[in-house]
Amino acid sequence: MFAALAGLVVVAAGLGGLMVWQNTYDLREETVAVRHGGRTLHGVLALPPQGKGPFPLVVFVHGDGPVDATHDTFYRPMWESFARAGYASLSWNKPGVGGAPGDWLDQTMDDRAREAVDAIAWARQRPDIDGSRIGLWGASQAGWVLPKIAARDGRIRFAIAVSPAVNWHRQGRYNLLAELSRDGASAAEVAAALRRRETGLELLGRGATYEEYVRAVGDPQGMTAARWRFVSKNHAADAGADLPALRGIPVLLVLAGHDVNVDTADTEAAYRRLLPGPSLRVAHYADATHGLVKHDVETSPLRLTLTALCAPRALFAEGFLADQRKFLSSLDAEGARR
C-alpha cells in the first residue's frame, strides 16, 4: 500500500513538473497600462527573452467575447513563437475584463479600432519598440477591426488574419446552419431556426428594443439585453469597405478546415478580390477548428483539457505556429533586400 502511494506521489510530482515546464515560455512579459479615451487599457507586452531592441511588434486584436490580455494563456505559445523571430507582442484586456473599466458589449468595431490605434501610438513611444515595423494579428471578429486600424494608421506594416469574418449577416447565417448540421437538426428545426433568424434581422433593421425581440421570439436562447445592444450596434458590419486599406502590405490569411463560425470560402474569395497580388498569402489548415485548435483535440473535452494543461503548444494545428513565425521572418528578409 505504502509503495503504491509512494508511486502515485512520484507520478503526481512528475506531472506537476511537466505542467510547469510546458507552461513556462521563453519570454519577458511586462504588465503595461495604455491611456485611451479617458480610461486605461490594462495589457501585456511580451518581449523576446534577450536584447534591448528596438523590436518589431505584433499587436493582438481579439475576437468575440470577454477576452483578457493573454486569452487565458492561449496567446502565449504564439507570443513565444513570434519572439523567436525577434518580435514583441502587445495585447490588452477588453473593457470590463480582468478589472478593466467599461463593458466590451458597449463597443462598436470602430471603437475597437480606435482603441488599437491608441495602443499602437503608445507603443511607438517606447525605445524598445521599432515604431516603423508594427503589424496586426487578429482572429474572427477582428476581421472587421483589422482593416479599420490600417485605414486609420497608414504605417501598419503587415497583418495576420486568423479565421476572419467579412460580412456579419452572411457569417451569422453560415454559423447557424453549420451548427444545426453538426448537431443533426431536422429539416423542421432548421426551418424554424431560419424563421427566427429572419425575425431577428427584421427587428435589428428597424432598431427594435430587446423587449420587442423577446416578445417576438419567445425564448431568447442566450440573447441577453447586453448582447442585443452589442448586436444592434454591429450587425451591419462588412469588412469589404475597409479591406482595401490593407492593399500593398503583406497579409497572411489563415483558414481552418473545420470552421463552423466563419464561411472560409466566402472569406477567401473576398480577400482575393479586394487584396489582389502577391502581398496576400493564404494558409489552409484542414484539421483545424475556428480557433486553429486541432479538430480531434477540440472535440474531446478531456483531451482538450489535458492538452491545454500539459502541452499547450500542441493545441494548435500542425504548422500553425511555425508558419506564422516564418511569415514574420520573411518580412525581415524582404526588408533586408530593399
Output the CA–CA distances (angstroms, integers) from residue 139 to 14, 171, 236, 292, in the order listed. Answer: 35, 14, 19, 10
pLDDT at 126 over 80: yes
Q: State the pTM of this model.
A: 0.90
Q: Which amino acid is at 246?
A: L
Q: How far apart are CA 152 and CA 148, in angstroms?
A: 6
* pLDDT tens string 161-215: 999 999 999 999 999 999 999 999 999 999 999 999 999 999 999 999 999 999 9
Q: What phi and psi values does residue 269 have, to the nearest 5 degrees?
A: -60, -40
* pLDDT tens string 84-116: 999 999 999 999 998 888 899 999 999 999 999
Give the bridge partners for 293, in sequence order.
316
For 9, half-sphere exposure in the C-beta direction (CA atoms, 13 angstrom radius) is 6
Full DSSP string of 89-150: EEEEPPTTSTT-SS-GGG--HHHHHHHHHHHHHHHHT-TTEEEEEEEEEEEGGGGGTHHHHH
Grid coordinates representing 197 are 433568424
pLDDT at 232 over 50: yes
Question: How much is the average pLDDT of 117-142?
Answer: 96
* pLDDT tens string 5-49: 455 444 445 545 545 546 789 899 999 998 877 788 999 999 999
**Which residues have CB under 8 Å from 37's CB, separation 6+?**
114, 115, 118
**pLDDT-above-70 percentage for the chain:** 92
Q: What is the mean pLDDT of the chain?
A: 91
Q: What phi and psi values does residue 230 have, to the nearest 5 degrees?
A: -65, -50
